[in-house]
């Protein structure tokens, strides 16, 4: 993940994120690539926002799912697409290199190693929640974008969730005695103002429900292992897995709803 600062909650987020992604490279991709809304994953939804871009920089690329999604859907016949993935985690980049052609660049999102006005689009899955401070990363993204270039990002959201869709997450959180956490605000507080300060204009703010199906205990373990739980004891995580496994044994496979948000801005 990109370089971070210690947040106001007192957690050493840089250390936690470095350890998390060293120990579990590809785990977030494993969950989101199995989370569906109709015929598409969150990665495909994000790719659609930059469908005609030629040169795309994927910030906080992780194990490279966005790069592969974009390369599988080339732009119009008159364009050739290049997708560059950048991340601070050597372990995530190593896995990305095993899965796709790259190029892959180890770099800090707050000091992107690219020239001014050098890319048509920037994508980021989860990055805007973990790269701090937000205004600095947006300024850096705007710097590398060409005039008229597009920023498209996705992140987990708090809504939309119906009361019935909230029941299982609420019971998971009760067993965890908390909820998943991020360095930044899940609802991207101050996002529009930060965009304007960086010289970009928001043109879309959309939300979608995705569904991750728990059909085995392994599915439950995978889901819990992909959550940022910096202060949660392992016994609490095990309790949440046991709850999901017990529900599965009683009711059979069931979906867990993951609300996502997609924001698109133009320089």
Q: What's the CATH number where 109 sits? A: 3.40.50.150
Tell me what pLDDT residue 79 has: 75
- Does 116 map to a domain? yes
Tell me what pLDDT residue 78 has: 64
Tell me what pLDDT residue 184 has: 86
- Does 172 map to a domain? no
d(CA 241, CA 117): 47
- Does 164 map to a domain? no
- Does 251 map to a domain? no
User: How many other C-beta atoms are found inside a 10 Å radius of the C-beta of residue 30?
Assistant: 16
- Does 2 map to a domain? no
Write out residues in the chain with pLDDT < 50, as ranges: 1-8
Q: Are 151 and 264 in contact (CB under 8 A)?
A: yes
d(CA 114, CA 117): 9
Tell me what pLDDT residue 9 has: 61
- Does 20 map to a domain? yes
- Does 133 map to a domain? yes
Helices (H) then strands (E): counts for the chain:
11, 7
Q: Which domain holds residue 201?
A: 13-159+184-212+258-266
- Does 225 map to a domain? no
pTM, entire model: 0.93
Tell me how many domains the chain contains: 1
Q: Are 130 and 183 in contact (CB under 8 A)?
A: yes
Tell me what pLDDT residue 22 has: 97
Tell me what pLDDT residue 2 has: 33
Tell me what pLDDT residue 187 has: 82
């Amino acid at each position: 993940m990109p370089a971070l600062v210690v947040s106001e909650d007192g957690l050493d987020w840089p250390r936690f994120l470095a350890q998390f992604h060293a120990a579990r490279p590809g785990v977030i991709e494993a969950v989101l690539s199995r989370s569906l809304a109709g015929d598409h994953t969150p990665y495909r939804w994000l790719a659609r926002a930059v469908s005609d871009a030629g040169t795309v920089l994927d910030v906080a690329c992780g194990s490279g799912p966005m790069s592969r999604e974009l390369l599988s859907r080339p732009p119009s016949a008159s364009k050739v697409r290049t997708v560059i993935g950048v991340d601070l985690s050597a372990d995530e980049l190593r896995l990305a290199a095993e899965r796709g052609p790259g190029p892959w660049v180890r770099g800090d999102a707050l000091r992107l190693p690219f020239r001014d006005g050098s890319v048509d689009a920037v994508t980021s899955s989860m990055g805007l929640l973990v790269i701090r401070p937000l205004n600095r990363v947006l300024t850096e993204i705007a710097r590398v974008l060409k005039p008229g270039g597009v920023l498209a990002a996705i992140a987990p959201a708090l809504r939309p969730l119906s009361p019935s869709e909230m029941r299982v997450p609420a019971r998971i959180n009760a067993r965890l005695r908390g909820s998943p956490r991020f360095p930044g605000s899940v609802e991207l507080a101050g996002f529009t103002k930060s965009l304007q300060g960086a010289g970009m204009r928001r043109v879309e703010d959309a939300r979608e429900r995705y569904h991750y199906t728990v059909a085995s205990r392994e599915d439950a373990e995978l889901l819990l292992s992909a959550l940022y739980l910096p202060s949660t004891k392992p016994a609490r995580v095990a309790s949440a897995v046991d709850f999901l496994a017990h529900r599965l044994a009683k009711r059979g496979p069931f979906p867990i709803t993951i609300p996502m948000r997609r924001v698109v801005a133009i320089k």
